Amino acid sequence: MPKLEIRPFSLGELATNCYLVWDEHSRAAIIIDPADDGSFITEQILELQLTPTAIVLTHGHFDHVLGMLEVKLNFDVPILMHEADVFLLRQAQSSALHWLKRQVDPVPLPDNYLSAGQKIKVGTQTLEVLETPGHTPGSISLFNDEVVFTGDTLFKDTVGRTDFRYSSHEQLVESVHHLLELPSNLLVLSGHGELTTVGEALEPSSE
């Protein structure tokens, strides 16, 4: 039975997790959060002999998208994200200049928007979109019966920061509770740091 294969990479100065996710039967793939090394991501896609079908963003922060232009140009695939975070893509270059003290490539805008309940096809497999705002207004997670990609909403032992002007601690708490209602054995693959499971993510408390 075909299943999803996942290859994580920690990229850039902020050690942002990028994920190549593919159907082992068809080699169709999506790129989740193409962080700051588009050349490396491209090399991995070619080495694994994958056929990319989409770039999917868990949210719009600059460190999750700095490799996106090169990947988009190399493979001509659509960029998918929640509409509420488009403003972050528009300011990604200035944010990178502020935090990294250097110029970065222009960041392309999305081709289509994602919302709760949508299914993203990866060959014969699917991932479902769960809206998980709080860290950013348009944060999403992606899940199936084995794994959940949580972006910067839920990490091993902690949750996403909410000290940005556009963040909401109240929304983040609600989003984390929704994630913790998923099956406890699901692998949690977050935007930074190590993997965990839903059941072990925030021991001993979710707050």
Joined tokens for residue 171: 């929304």
The topology under which CATH files domain 4-197 is: Metallo-beta-lactamase; Chain A (3.60.15)
Q: What is the pLDDT of residue 2?
A: 53
- What is the pTM (predicted TM-score) of this model? 0.95
pLDDT at residue number 3: 81
Residue 63: name the closest of 33, 106, 32 by CA.
33
For the chain, the structural domain boundaries read: 4-197
Name residue, tokens 């250097």: 102
Q: Half-sphere exposure (CA, 13 Å, Cβ side) for 43?
A: 5
- Sorted by sequence, the CB contacts under 8 Å of residue 190 that are 6+ apart come out as 17, 149, 150, 151, 152, 153, 154, 155, 156, 196
Distance CA 137, CA 60 (A): 9
Tell me how far apart the alpha carbons of residues 119 and 121 are, in angstroms, rounded to a whole number. 6
Provide the pLDDT for residue 204.
56
pLDDT per residue of the chain (207 residues) written in tens, 0 to 9: 458 999 999 999 999 999 999 999 999 999 999 999 999 999 999 999 999 999 999 999 999 999 999 999 999 999 999 999 999 999 999 999 998 899 898 999 999 999 999 999 999 999 999 999 999 999 999 999 999 999 999 999 999 999 999 999 999 999 999 999 999 999 999 999 999 999 999 875 444
pLDDT of residue 206: 41
Helices then strands, counting H and E runs in the chain, come out as: 5, 14
Give residue 123's pLDDT: 94
